[in-house]
Amino acid sequence: MARREKDGIWVKIAAAVFYPITWLGKRVTRGAERIPRQGGAILVFNHISHLDPVVDAVFVHRNKRVPRFLAKDSLFRIPVAGKIIGGAGTIPVYRGTANAADSLRAANEALREGKLVCIYPEGTISKDPDGWPMRSFPGVARLALTNDVPVLPIARWGTNHILNGYTKTFRPFPRKTVTIYVGEPVDLSGFRGEDPPSNTTLMRVTEFIMNDVKALLAEIRGEKAPDGFFNPKKAES
């Protein structure tokens, strides 16, 4: 039996807070055995609810790994919560500032050290009217092409039925089913070799990875996924 990855006091505190919250959903998982029990890896999730980081962190921790999320730097300024997530190894993202590259450097370092990095390429909760993944940021592609580690697409559905950030509705009862589906590692061999990768390549890789996430989500929902990705900027114009 695989041993649990060494964590620390802040991870234990986060677990004590997060595990009871996940009782809000009846958990169904598929493909969890694909998460590497040791060594660096990138877990790529879709994002549909503010509950996602809690549910996803507990899911990864139940599989004996310590999740290191990329998260907006503003979260680190929240009293108490910011201290916990920072101490637990969460990596701040300074989007749109001179420090933007620092978040990727920290993530690259974590992967080189054999740690597991979790990322929401959409950057925020999907604004797609039907909850499908929207157009994503290329940071996930930079990480994936820079590091020779498994890149696993993961779809999750059901947290949005408990807490919907856009309609601001919270419906804990009756308990909803939250399904998490881990796919096979993404084969990026056809994109490697360009150093540094062009912006075009980065966007192609990002969409390539997110297409796998979308396909998993379609299986969970039992629906046909739409072509392409919702672009909130175009929708607002």
Nearest to 209 by CA among 43, 10, 21, 34: 43
Model confidence, pTM = 0.93
Residue 219 has pLDDT above 60, yes or no: yes
Cβ atoms of residues 121 and 42 within 8 Å: no
Q: How far apart (Å, rounded) are the C-alpha atoms in residues 91 and 76?
A: 10
pLDDT at residue number 84: 80
What pLDDT is attached to residue 86?
83
| Banded pLDDT at 237 (limits 50, 70, 90) | low
**pLDDT exceeds 90 at position 78:** no
Query: Which pLDDT does position 233 carry in this prediction?
Result: 84
**DSSP structural state of residue 4:** P
**Higher per-residue pLDDT: 220 or 104:** 220
Of 10-14, 118-122, 144-148, 226-230, the poorest mean pLDDT is in: 10-14
pLDDT value of residue 98:
61
Confirm if 140 and 209 have CB atoms less than 8 A apart: yes
Alpha helix locations (H) across the chain? 9-21, 52-62, 81-87, 100-112, 139-146, 159-162, 199-221, 232-236
- Average model confidence (pLDDT) across the chain: 92
Average pLDDT over residues 157-163: 97
1, pLDDT greater than 60: no
Percent residues over pLDDT 90 in the chain: 73
| 108 CB neighbour count, 10 Å cutoff | 16
pLDDT of residue 99: 61
* Residue closest to 212 by CA, chosen among 137, 150, 119, 133: 133
19 pLDDT exceeds 80? yes
How far apart CA 67 and CA 180 sit, in angstroms, is: 15
CA 204 to chain centre: 19
Beta strand pairing status for 169-170 and 67-72?
Answer: unpaired
Q: Is the pLDDT of residue 164 over 60?
A: yes
CATH topology of domain 28-232: Glycerol-3-phosphate (1)-acyltransferase (3.40.1130)
Domain definitions of the chain by residue range = 28-232
pLDDT > 80? residue 3? no
Structure tokens at 213: 């996430």
Structure confidence at residue 160 (pLDDT): 97
Evaluate whether 132 touches 196 at the Cβ level (below 8 Å).
no
